[in-house]
Chains A and B, each alone.
Chain A
Amino acid sequence: MIGWLRHQKHAFTAALRRLGAQPVASLLTALAMGVAISLPGGLFLALGNLDRLAGDLPAQPEISVFLDTGASSVQKQAIAERLRQPDIAEARYVPKDEALAALSSAQDLADITAGLTQNPLPNAWVVRPQTMSREELVRVAGALGKLPGVAETHLDSQWADRLQAALAIGRTGVWLLAGLFAVALVAISGNAIRAQVLARRDEILVSRLIGATDRYIRRPFLYVGALQGLLGGLAAGGVLAIAGVILRAPVEQLAGLYGSAFHLLPPATIEIVAVLGLTALFGWLGAWLSVTRALRQVEAAR
């Protein structure tokens, strides 16, 4: 165990020395990896923030039932009766004056609404059905829409559903993209390590002659690959942090225009650790593939 630890320490120190001996090449490799990681990483963060935005929307679907302007009091009474049935969990009447007042205050439209000669909004009910099933909601909304005195119904969760569906597609896309960039990461690391193995051909041959195993020879290269992956992950973090700083103000301004206090959130600590771990792993994998192949070539050329 002590011998194994000594070998690890020796290989890690050798890897640090090798990276330090070629600072520009190491930096360029890390930057190439960083750029490759920052694209899926940025999309992942963007989706996370959009997901959060969608999460702020009402979790329970609502149906807005807009009444005909000419609805009679009998029809209104019948509608109120229907909304007391067991399939409706809650129903709140919103008179048109209240709707106009809410519209004016919520979306800073006071100037426009003040200029109106009459209130164009209809009286309405905001209804929360018992069911959460999409098909049932559509059925209830359809049934309410057919009631005499009802002008129109609107299932309020519709756009949130569409956003969630789009986010699901986006998430799948990000994972596919991340897979592709992981392959790119392995290739970048492998290529950098291959060049190092060939540059150290003599050292490898001599080490083999005096008793080095392939595992011993391979180990420092694996550490170099893992460290380069880690540096690539940190570089990607830097790129995303800069992008976050640049985008923060415009995003908050846009959200403010919609009356929202939404702001961009940085990734969670666990996400940062996971990404750094993965980039180090892919760097290690690229190094392993490359050094194993190169060692075979060095042996064959001997």
Chain B
Amino acid sequence: MISFSQVTKRYPGGHEALSGVDLSIEKGELVFLTGHSGAGKSTLLKLVAAIERPTGGVVSVSGQNVGRLPQRAIPYLRRNIGLIFQDHKLLFDRNVIENVVLPLDIAGLDRRESLKRARAVIDKVGLLKREKANPISLSGGEQQRLCIARALVSRPALLLADEPTGNLDAGYAADIMAMFRDFHQVGTTLVIATHDDRAIAALGGRTLRLDHGKVEEGSA
């Protein structure tokens, strides 16, 4: 599903976030990315979602060379990827359900069906009573759950999560991890960048440790 071949990412200014990375993630696999801050976890996720382009090497997702993908094809790649951001990236001029329904609107789904699916996933993350609330009125943890709901609503084949439980208390973190497990069990590929050892222990799966832009297989 995902393969990196000698991938390097150097940012303007010279900082090398990834250096000659080789890795392979199979379809339906659950993979944790661990490592200290600045190790390159977020960069690796951004390369998979074509938010950044590699400086060298080949990033391949579902057989497509993402680094060479024309600009107009990138939106269609991203529609099959659920993205959970560390900083949530919510829209504060629309309410909870409108945030969640956005990926389905973009995909051109029937509005009634979209709202039904959005409510189901909002219920799963425990925000149904707040579906009309503005995200700005939500706590950090609720905003994180809202971001997760938006990523899950389009039932993506690949879910990329950057510190998905970072702002959640233990109870909600466990619920979210249980949701990830459910998605994993139905064949969704999950790549989760996290520092949360409890989550890794709870879900199992493979762990890739990043250290100064290099990847090594390891355990949490």
Contact = CB atoms under 8 A, between A and B. Distances in A.
A3 B78 contact: no
B108 A207 contact: no
Interface string B54-88: 00000000000000000010011011000101000
Interface residues of B, number: 23
Contact of A211 (B72, B103, B110, B111): B103
A206 B91 contact: yes
B75 A212 contact: yes
B50 to A, nearest CB: 10
Contacts of A212: 75, 106
Interface in B88-117: 89-91, 93, 102-103, 105-111
Interface residues of A, number: 18
A199 to B, nearest CB: 9
A3 B76 CA distance: 15
Contact of B75 (A3, A6, A205, A213): A213
B209 interface: no
Contacts of B93: 203
A211 B108 contact: no
Given A206-B89, A208-B75, A213-B72, A3 B106 contact: no
B106 A209 contact: no
B150 A209 contact: no
Interface string A43-63: 000000000000000000000
A84 interface: no
A133 B206 CA distance: 96
B149 to A, nearest CB: 12
B51 interface: yes
A299 to B, nearest CB: 9
B20 to A, nearest CB: 26
Contacts of B111: 6, 10
B75 A211 contact: yes
Contact of B110 (A6, A202, A206): A6
B108 A3 contact: yes
A207 B106 CA distance: 8
Nearest to A199: B93
A76 to B, nearest CB: 89
Interface in A185-232: 202-203, 205-214, 216
Contacts of A3: 108
Nearest to B109: A6
A7 interface: yes
A46 B31 CA distance: 75
B105 A211 contact: no
Contact of B51 (A4, A209, A214): A209
B102 A207 contact: yes
Contacts of B83: 209-210
A6 B93 CA distance: 22
A6 B102 contact: no
Contacts of A208: 75
A214 B73 CA distance: 11
A4 B108 CA distance: 7
A250 B102 CA distance: 58
Contacts of A206: 89-91, 102
A6 B101 CA distance: 14
5 contacts: A202-B91, A206-B91, A209-B78, A210-B79, A216-B75
State the 10 A-B residue pairs at the shortest beta-carbon distance, nearest first. A211-B79, A3-B108, A211-B78, A213-B75, A212-B106, A211-B75, A210-B103, A206-B89, A6-B108, A211-B106
Given A6-B109, A206-B90, 5 more contacts: A3-B108, A4-B108, A211-B78, A213-B75, A216-B106
